């Protein structure tokens, strides 16, 4: 049952990913990306990391997709067709990517992963305790650094998007 | 673990997703499309972290925590990129890569 579910998810993710990078309509490719991200959340649910799946849905599907749609609507006319690369360049890139997939898969399948059979369920309180512990192997420092980084990114985004230059031009 | 699905299957899936993202990154001519491809690449790597954590080292949480950090950094990066794109569009009325010449100032 879970196997079938996984293959359905995988098929959905790959086909929507290809659609997202090859669609000529901007807004549609964003929506295809949304489906890919939801497929990733489905895989997190399948391997029993509920907290990560919730984060994936809220941050990616809820936040990032909305931001990108917002910028698409601000920047584009909705009818505008995208300019694509030259066919020759597309083919060369596709061949290079297939080559890369081949190298990756060959390396992966020749390595013997020592898989441990387990059905450990990770609760949110485990993740929280590990994130805030300052023992050896605790993650309190990166946690704080990330919070400062998010604050800096937020202020930076406001200042950049405010556009000082534009105001000066309109004043003159 | 997912019943009946080996680690190789999932790693194959994430590899394919990663290279689709790389393909989009190299062929698209538009800043927002490039952003979409970057999100796809980041997501494939997040799944890899989580899967390796779950299948090979189930009693630690490092992979999960790192994937949370990756998601946070990706959110910050997207917010900044969207801000830059909007500002650029107001200055040059275009988000094509070839028109982007004024980022110096």
CA distance A20 to A68: 13
Q: Are residues A127 and A138 in the same domain?
A: yes
Most A CBs within 10 A among B37, B79, B90, B103, hence the mutation to make, goes to: B79
pLDDT at position A172 over 50: no
Question: Mean pLDDT across the stretch B11-25?
Answer: 93
pLDDT at position A154 over 80: yes
Last residue of a domain, one of A70, A96, A113: A113
Closest chain A CA to residue B85: A71
> Other CB atoms closer than 10 Å to residue A67's CB: what's the count?
18
Q: Are residues A22 and A57 in the same domain?
A: yes
How many angstroms away from the CA of A18 is the closest CA of chain B?
Answer: 7
* B76 with A3: Cβ contact below 8 A: no
Domain membership of residue B20 (yes or no) is yes
Which pLDDT does position A153 carry in this prediction?
A: 92
Last residue of a domain, one of A67, A82, A97: A82
Q: Spell out the SS3 assignment of chain A.
A: CHHHHHHHHHHHHHHHHHHHHHCCEHHHHHHHHHHHHHHHHHHHHHCCCHHHHHHHHHHHHHHHHHHHHHHHHHHCCCCCECCCCCHHHHHHHHHHHHHHHHHHHHHHHHCCCCCCCCCCCCCHHHHHHHHHCCCCCCCHHHHHHHHHHHHHHHHHHHHHHHCHHHHHHHHC
Percent of chain A with pLDDT over 70: 91
* A6 with B33: Cβ contact below 8 A: no
Which pLDDT does position A151 carry in this prediction?
A: 94
Q: Which residues of chain B have a CB within 8 Å of the CB of A40? A: 43, 46-47
Which pLDDT does position A168 carry in this prediction?
A: 56
pTM, to two decimals: 0.88
Question: Chain B, 1-20: which have a CB under 8 Å from a chain A CB?
Answer: 1-13, 15-20
Q: Are residues A76 and A1 in the same domain?
A: yes
Cβ of residue B48 closer than 8 Å to a chain A Cβ = no
Q: Are residues A108 and A129 in the same domain?
A: no
Residues sharing a CB contact under 8 Å with residue A71, sequence separation 6 or more, in sequence order: B32, B82, B85, B86
How many separate domains does chain B show? Answer: 1
Q: Which residues of chain B have a CB within 8 Å of the CB of A116? A: 55-58
How many separate domains does chain A show? Answer: 3
**Nearest-by-Cβ selection for A52 from B50, B86, B95:** B50
Structure confidence by residue, pLDDT tens digits, B62-103: 889 999 999 999 999 999 999 888 888 888 877 787 777 776
Domain membership of residue B103 (yes or no) is no
Q: Which residues of chain A have a CB within 8 Å of the CB of B24? A: 20-22
Which pLDDT does position A78 carry in this prediction?
A: 62
pLDDT at position A33 over 70: yes
Question: Mean pLDDT across the stretch B11-32?
Answer: 91
* B69 with A55: Cβ contact below 8 A: no
Structure confidence by residue, pLDDT tens digits, A89-119: 889 999 999 999 999 999 999 988 888 887 7
CA distance B62 to B53: 7
Which pLDDT does position A39 carry in this prediction?
A: 92
Find the domain containing A107 and state its range: 85-113
Provide the CATH number for the domain around residue B65: 1.10.287.3510
Q: Are residues A16 and A40 in the same domain?
A: yes
pLDDT at position B105 over 70: no
Find the domain containing B89 and state its range: 7-96
Closest chain B CA to residue A99: B19
Cβ of residue A167 closer than 8 Å to a chain B Cβ = no
CB pairs under 8 A between A and B: 230
Cβ of residue A59 closer than 8 Å to a chain B Cβ = yes
* B39 with A30: Cβ contact below 8 A: no
Which pLDDT does position A77 carry in this prediction?
A: 66
Structure confidence by residue, pLDDT tens digits, A60-87: 888 899 989 988 888 876 666 777 778 8
pLDDT at position A134 over 90: no
Q: Are residues A74 and A91 in the same domain?
A: no
CA distance A78 to A171: 31
Q: Are residues A3 and A73 in the same domain?
A: yes
**ipTM for the complex shown:** 0.90
């Amino acid at each position: 049952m879970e196997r079938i579910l996984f293959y359905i998810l995988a098929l959905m993710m790959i086909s929507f990913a290809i659609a997202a990078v090859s669609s000529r309509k901007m807004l549609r490719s964003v929506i295809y990306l949304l489906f890919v991200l939801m497929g990733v959340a489905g895989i997190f649910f399948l391997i029993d990391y509920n907290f990560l799946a919730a984060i994936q849905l809220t941050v990616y599907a809820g936040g990032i997709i909305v931001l990108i749609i917002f910028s698409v609507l601000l920047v584009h006319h909705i009818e505008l067709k995208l300019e694509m690369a030259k066919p020759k360049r597309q083919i060369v890139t596709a061949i290079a990517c297939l080559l890369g997939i081949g190298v990756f898969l060959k390396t992966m399948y020749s390595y013997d992963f020592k898989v441990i059979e387990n059905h450990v369920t990770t609760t949110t309180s485990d993740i929280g305790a590990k994130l805030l512990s300052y023992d050896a192997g605790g993650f309190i420092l990166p946690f704080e650094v990330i919070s400062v980084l998010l604050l800096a990114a937020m202020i930076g985004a406001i200042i950049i998007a405010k556009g000082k230059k534009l105001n000066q031009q309109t004043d003159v | 673990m997912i019943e009946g699905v080996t680690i190789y299957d999932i790693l194959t899936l994430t590899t394919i997703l990663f290279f689709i993202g790389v393909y989009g990154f190299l062929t698209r001519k538009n800043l927002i499309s490039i952003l979409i491809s970057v999100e796809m690449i980041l997501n494939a790597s997040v799944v890899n972290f989580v899967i390796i954590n779950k299948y090979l080292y189930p009693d630690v949480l490092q992979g999960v925590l790192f994937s949370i950090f990756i998601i946070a950094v990706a959110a910050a990066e997207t917010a900044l990129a969207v801000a830059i794109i909007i500002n650029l569009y107001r200055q040059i009325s275009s988000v094509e890569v070839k028109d982007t010449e004024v980022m110096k100032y």
